[in-house]
Amino acid sequence: MMKAPIFIILVLSMQIMRCQDLNGKWLTLKDGDTYLVPDIPILEFMDDDKIIVYDFDKPWLNGHFHVSENVLKVNDEIWGKISFVDRDRLRLSMKGTTNGKDTVHHTEYARLLPTAMELEKEEIEKLSYRFKWNDEEGIISFNKEPSDIDDDLAFFLENIESVLFVSIYIKGVRETVLPIRRATLKGLELYGLPDKPYVVFAPTNK
């Protein structure tokens, strides 16, 4: 006689745990060929089932979300099926079509965490860093103000609350951001990359 109520309690508990796992801000991850609207979408899931979508730091959409059987709905619209790559990396999967063929589209998100800082922001900006991720490599050297952009490619150190980002601007437009997990004299630990390795260390350029 007690099996059904216990089962219901377990299901409800698991549902609450899933929702709690979503709490916080999540950066939408994209590769170089992906077009997103807004340009840098960040989702914030809140305790009262509210969701805010930001274009980086500017609110873009307010709504309510609901998770049922691992399916995320926002304002009653299905956004996809939730799975966790790990505790701090979320994947939404949505069925669709590509060139007339059925397919499943995946979008991944990285949980934004406070940056562990051993340096002040101004000290980080004075240094440059060697970045290498798979076949991509280069030097990260920060410009001072976005309004000073003269080059096709520029790097800025920006923040949302206690999260620092390496922001990459192309021709004056913020195209990509990489959250900084840790900043030390030895270098920057970056995450939020679209494919493995998900985390890289960019050593200080000496």
Confidence bin at 102 (pLDDT 50/70/90): confident
Determine the Cα–Cα distance for residues 111 and 22; give it in Å rounded to an integer: 9
Indicate if 95 and 120 belong to the same structural domain: no
Residue 61, Cβ density class (10 Å: 0-12 exposed, 13-18 middle, ≥19 buried) = middle
Indicate if 105 and 9 belong to the same structural domain: yes
Please identify, among 85, 111, 137, the residue that sits at the C-terminal boundary of a domain: 111
Average pLDDT, the chain: 87
Indicate if 121 and 98 belong to the same structural domain: no
Indicate if 136 and 158 belong to the same structural domain: yes
Indicate if 76 and 134 belong to the same structural domain: no
Confidence bin at 206 (pLDDT 50/70/90): confident
Structural domain boundaries enclosing 195 = 116-203
Please identify, among 92, 111, 130, the residue that sits at the C-terminal boundary of a domain: 111
- pLDDT tens readout for residues 1-60: 444 454 333 333 344 335 448 999 999 998 766 678 899 999 999 988 999 999 999 999
Confidence bin at 148 (pLDDT 50/70/90): low
Statement: residue 147 has pLDDT above 90? no
Q: What is the pTM of this model?
A: 0.85
Confidence bin at 146 (pLDDT 50/70/90): low
Number of domains in the chain: 2
CATH of the domain at 81: 2.40.128.540
Please identify, among 111, 133, 168, the residue that sits at the C-terminal boundary of a domain: 111
Here the tokens at position 191 are: 């995450």
Quote the pLDDT of residue 10: 36
